[in-house]
Amino acid sequence: VPTAVTNIARTATQATAGGSLVEICLMHPLDVVKTRFQIQTSSSGPNSYKSLGDCFRTIFRREGIFGFYKGILPPILAETPKRAVKFFTFEQYKKLLSLTPLSPGMALSVAGLGSGLTEAVVVNPFEVVKVSLQANRDSFKEQPSSFAQARRIIKSDGFGLKGLNKGLTSTLGRHGVFNMIYFGFYFNVKDSFPSSPDPTLEFLRKFAIGLTSGTISSCVNIPFDVAKSRIQGPQPVPGEIKYRTCFQTMALVYREEGYLALYKGLVPKIMRLGPGGAVMLLVYEYVSEWLKNNW
């Protein structure tokens, strides 16, 4: 039985990862735009993006269509281990927490938090490479490859918190908060509303809850996302480290640019992770259910 359960979890995770790869390829331009807004300070000057449309137009005009796909390789490479860690650890934490006095609803949220923190450790090096490539405004042809960029980061700063694991605390906050709300909200709210015997209505019910879950999670965790981008992206003054730690960066951004600066990139983030989060949960849930019923 444990082997069968493991196989089900593995197959469901692989199917979810496969669906997420399609989502990455379709939605990556929004991720590039989100990062550009988040690393843009109030002193960026004439090169700053004035709106979402202006950002899309400027990138297309100056960097070409492939400019929207800068840094796409790291998330593609990270996708399978990331989803495997997210869903597998969520199930394990959920199982462990079922033995504690926590209420089922609270246990789901804490299990989500645990899965997010574990996921962040796996994904952070990929994020460092991705953000450094997305921040580059040179032509796509002039940009170094993902592997060359990773080697450059390792050679200059190593594997630690100043190098390939820069911004780890912000990534822990971003993924921990997102998954805590994402899983907790989805499964608690889903169980609070009666299911529909009509397959189409049932799918729409779950999709709407998943969409809301992804949207709320994105709104709550974005200050961590902004801090992560500032730490992992280029510093305002070359050779001088301004953004060092998660909460120091948040406080600095708030003091210099106001609280709205902590929500930079929110629109493209929601446009990507709202529907993307709904699809990811639905694929995992439907595949898991099918496997349990047929294996």
pTM: 0.89
Residue with tokens 């450059």: 152
Report d(CA 41, CA 47) in Å as an integer: 11
Measured CA distances, 42 to 59, 75, 170, 257, 260 (Å): 19, 29, 21, 6, 11
Which CATH number fits the domain that encloses residue 235?
1.50.40.10
- Please give the chain's pLDDT, 295 residues, in tens: 455 555 555 555 555 554 567 778 888 999 999 999 999 987 666 678 999 999 999 999 999 999 999 999 999 898 778 877 888 899 899 999 999 999 999 999 999 999 999 999 999 999 999 999 999 988 778 889 999 999 999 999 999 999 999 999 999 999 999 999 999 999 999 888 888 899 899 999 999 999 999 999 999 999 999 999 999 999 988 889 999 999 999 999 999 999 999 999 999 999 999 998 888 888 777 777 776 677 6
Amino acid of residue 146:
S
The range of the structural domain enclosing residue 91 comes to: 2-294
Contact partners, residue 22, CB within 8 Å, separation at least 6: none
Nearest to 97 by CA among 107, 87, 86, 112: 107
CB distance 33 to 59 below 8 Å: yes
CB distance 38 to 243 below 8 Å: no
Q: What is the pLDDT of residue 1?
A: 46
Residue 237's φ and ψ, nearest 5 degrees, are: -115, 115
Q: How buried is 263 (Cβ within 10 angstroms: 0-12 exposed, 13-18 middle, 19+ buried)?
A: middle
Q: What is the pLDDT of residue 211?
A: 95
Q: How buried is 250 (Cβ within 10 angstroms: 0-12 exposed, 13-18 middle, 19+ buried)?
A: buried
CB distance 174 to 206 below 8 Å: no
For the chain, how many structural domains are there in total? 1
